Chain A
Amino acid sequence: MTLQSMTSRRAGSVPPRYHVLSVLVENRAGVLARVSALFARRGYNIYSLAVAPTDDERFSRITVVVDVEQAPLEQVVKQLNKLIHVIKISELDPRDSVERELMLVTVKAPAEVRGQIIELIGVFEGRIIDVGHDELALSLDAHPDRLDDLEDLLRPFGIIDLQRTGRVALPKLERS
């Protein structure tokens, strides 16, 4: 599925076929290759993937959004668990997790529309990170849906470059 068709889905958070897995792994050379090779070999499409060390530098966390039905998902998780360097896998239900993603975007901004764009990024509480004669570079870190929204609203101005990081997520804290 392309980014285009993903972003055209507006309602709700992650579409139902998508699952967010949070995979705690040993922070070692080659671990990402093992994980991504497993997805490729079993024929599962990775929609987005973000990886970085945790607070404990021995471990990294991979947040991966996969495009599978529920039944194959169980196989994905079980096969991932067989990797020696995988410590723990949790599926994050979007309703019970906090999710963030970072987007950098360069947009055409001639003088006559520049004010509108600045206003827009203000509404989204994003930032202007670079300024050119006829262009602006913006950043926004927020829930992935908010990124979708900003992206849609910026498109009519003319997006020159866009880069998103893929989502990262953690379970929501329990409040009782």
Chain B
Amino acid sequence: MNTNGGQALIKSLELEGVEVIFGLPGGAILPVYDPILDSPIRHVLVRHEQGAGHMAEGFAHATGRPGVAMVTSGPGATNIVTPLADAYMDSIPMVVITGQVPLPSIGTDAFQECDTVGITRGVTKHNELVTRAEDIPMAIRQAFHIATTGRPGPVLVDIPKDIVDPMNPASAMNWNWPTDAEVSSSLPGYKPTSKGHPKKIKEAAALIATARQPVIYAGGGILKARAAEVLRSLAELTGIPVVTTLMARGAFPDDHELCLGMPGMHGNYTAVTAMQKADLLIALGSRFDDRVTGKLDGFAPGAKIIHVDIDPAELGKVRRPDVPIVGDCRLVIEEIIKALNALGGAESRLDITPWRQQVSAWQEQYPLVYEQSQDSGLLKPQYVLEQLRDRSPEDTIVTSGVGQHQMWTSQYWRFNHPYTWVNSGGLGTMGFSIPAAIGAKVGRPDRTVWAVDGDGCFQMTAQELVTAATERIPVKVALLNNAYLGMVRQWQEMFYEERYSEVYLSPDLPDYVKWAEAMGCVALRVESPDEVGPAIDKANEINDRPVVLEFRTDASEKVFPMVSPGTSNDQIDLGPLQNGLGR
């Protein structure tokens, strides 16, 4: 016996290339924290385990490498359930290590015991309770393999205290490091498909060549597959316009003439309408989410569907594709490009110029609009975001929480680089922004990282700014304070006859500037349009500590366009400034 489970666990993480662990120790995981002192792995001590999970997600979003979080048993584990569910919905590669009570205590309702594997079964790609010290290296190798291959996702490894505690004989083991082949053969039921079926690829090319009104419907899978470049090649080869879903913002440059931006409930008119009128949707790593499709039987009624996804269960789950292709988006797009070239040059495809002209006409007629009056004290959130965008480096990484501020950020930022937009799409987790920004900044310290947040979200996870200040992780927070749970307020205004139930938060309680300063941040309150630019410039110059800019914004501002829930995307509401433009 030449080592123990605790040391083997840390060594395994080192060999998997882990540079940073986000975590918080506690009783059951204590023995694993001792060898961290001697490890080159950086540990970021969070203030709440949920923060650790979202930081690991932010790290993974920004770098493409799996994020790692480590917490203790019981409440430590339950506090990280939300990030696990978030990562599962958005296919984020993440490995979470949880402590567990010693094996002989499992099932006895021991102190800080809970059925972690049972609780997290439905929100992880996979999870395991390890029962022998010598199984730890294999469990860690499997976890990273599963988290990062196929459709990525979170994997949880639950480790009882006795097998990692050097004081306990159950932790004694001989070091072993499984080979790739041993890892594969230990998972006989796990064989993700990455190459698309050649016959289906030919069918896809034939459909593309004969489409008059095609649209590429790019989803988050493009980013997971590192397929942004080939997506651009496909679009430029065919001249087909591209919509980028909330999870795919940045996967195709917003400045590109073929980019239509975000579709869906708060998508822009052109992106939504182009999909509605399309005769072919090329869905690449997207999953026909209800927020994209609106009322399903009214969605893109005339479109044939090519659906490429690495997860076979997505094909036909919502809308039955005419050409389903299981595979990695990058490899499949490469093959589709080859198949298109094999058909011939541009003359082998139908001319889509009239369609492109129609799309451009929509773009010109229905841009995103808002009105910022320069003299009134009320800031429009869109104005703040445009200023933030224009005054920050082009490759700034932007994170957001969930709600109105998230939609405005997605609408008004110009994402020209992949992996610059980090948000919670599927689960819609309020409070995601700040910890995700910290994780992203740890992964990409060379980049400016702005967390756009709402006042409701800020109050859920702001304590992690203490982590950022202590660990010298200089993220910047743009807090859009409208004193409301804004998106809920918008729905109550529009769909509940302005009966505002439990959505008012107060602009002054808490005092966000004092709170941020107490957490070690530089903080500024911005109340009028002329203060916005200088405050942002000042924040962008500070690089030794976190900054919080509190913008007092107009609570009556609503997110438009909007497709009301339960209605078809044809019934898009452009908002008071554009309705009656005479479509």
Contacts and interface: CB of A to CB of B under 8 A. Distances in A.
Interface of A: 25-26, 29-30, 33-34, 37, 41, 74-75, 78-79, 81-88
Contacts of A34: 121
Nearest to B312: A78
B301 interface: no
Nearest to A40: B122
A33 B121 contact: yes
A29 B129 CA distance: 9
B187 A81 contact: no
Contacts of B317: 75, 78
A82 B121 contact: no
B313 A79 contact: yes
B121 A26 contact: no
14 contacts: A30-B117, A30-B129, A34-B121, A37-B122, A75-B316, A79-B313, A81-B312, A83-B189, A84-B125, A84-B126, A84-B187, A85-B189, A87-B188, A88-B189
A78 B189 contact: no
Contact of B313 (A29, A75, A84, A85): A75
Given A34-B121, A41-B122, A87 B313 contact: no
Nearest to B315: A78
The 9 A-B pairs of least Cβ separation, nearest first, read A78-B313, A87-B189, A84-B126, A86-B189, A84-B190, A78-B312, A87-B188, A79-B313, A37-B121
Given A41-B122, A75-B313, A75-B317, A84 B189 contact: yes
Nearest to A74: B316
Contacts of A88: 189
A82 B311 contact: yes
Nearest to B153: A82
A88 B189 CA distance: 7
A34 B122 CA distance: 8
B118 interface: yes
A3 to B, nearest CB: 29
Contacts of B146: 84
Nearest to A26: B189
A25 B121 contact: no
Contacts of B189: 25-26, 83-88
Contacts, number: 37
Contacts of A79: 313
Residue in A33, A34, A41, A86 whose Cβ sees the most chain B Cβ within 10 Å: A34
B188 A33 contact: no
Contacts of A41: 122
B317 to A, nearest CB: 6
A148 to B, nearest CB: 34
Interface of B: 117-118, 121-122, 125-126, 129, 146, 187-190, 311-313, 316-317
Given A26-B188, A84-B190, A87-B189, 12 more contacts: A25-B189, A29-B129, A30-B129, A33-B121, A37-B121, A78-B313, A78-B317, A82-B125, A82-B311, A83-B189, A84-B189, A87-B188
Contacts of B187: 84
Contacts of B188: 26, 87
Nearest to B187: A84
Contacts of B122: 37, 41
Contacts of B313: 75, 78-79, 81-82
B242 to A, nearest CB: 28
A74 B320 CA distance: 12
A48 to B, nearest CB: 23
A33 B190 contact: no
Nearest to B189: A87
Contacts of B312: 78, 81
Contacts of B117: 30
Residue in A25, A33, A37, A85 whose Cβ sees the most chain B Cβ within 10 Å: A85
A84 B190 CA distance: 6
Contacts of A87: 188-189
Contacts of A84: 125-126, 146, 187, 189-190
A33 B311 contact: no
A173 to B, nearest CB: 25
A33 B316 contact: no
Contacts of B118: 33
A155 B330 CA distance: 63
Contacts of B121: 33-34, 37
Nearest to A38: B122
A133 to B, nearest CB: 43
Nearest to A59: B188
A40 to B, nearest CB: 9
Nearest to A76: B313
Residue in A34, A81, A82, A83 whose Cβ sees the most chain B Cβ within 10 Å: A82
B328 to A, nearest CB: 16
A26 B187 CA distance: 9
Contacts of B129: 29-30
Contacts of A81: 312-313
B28 to A, nearest CB: 19
Contacts of B316: 74-75
A88 B191 CA distance: 11
Residue in B189, B311, B313 whose Cβ sees the most chain A Cβ within 10 Å: B189
B190 to A, nearest CB: 5
A39 to B, nearest CB: 12
A30 B126 CA distance: 12
Nearest to B121: A37
Nearest to A87: B189
Residue in A25, A37, A84 whose Cβ sees the most chain B Cβ within 10 Å: A84
Contacts of A86: 189
Nearest to A24: B189
B143 to A, nearest CB: 11
A81 B188 CA distance: 12
A132 B313 CA distance: 54
A134 to B, nearest CB: 43
A87 B185 CA distance: 12
Contacts of A82: 125, 311, 313
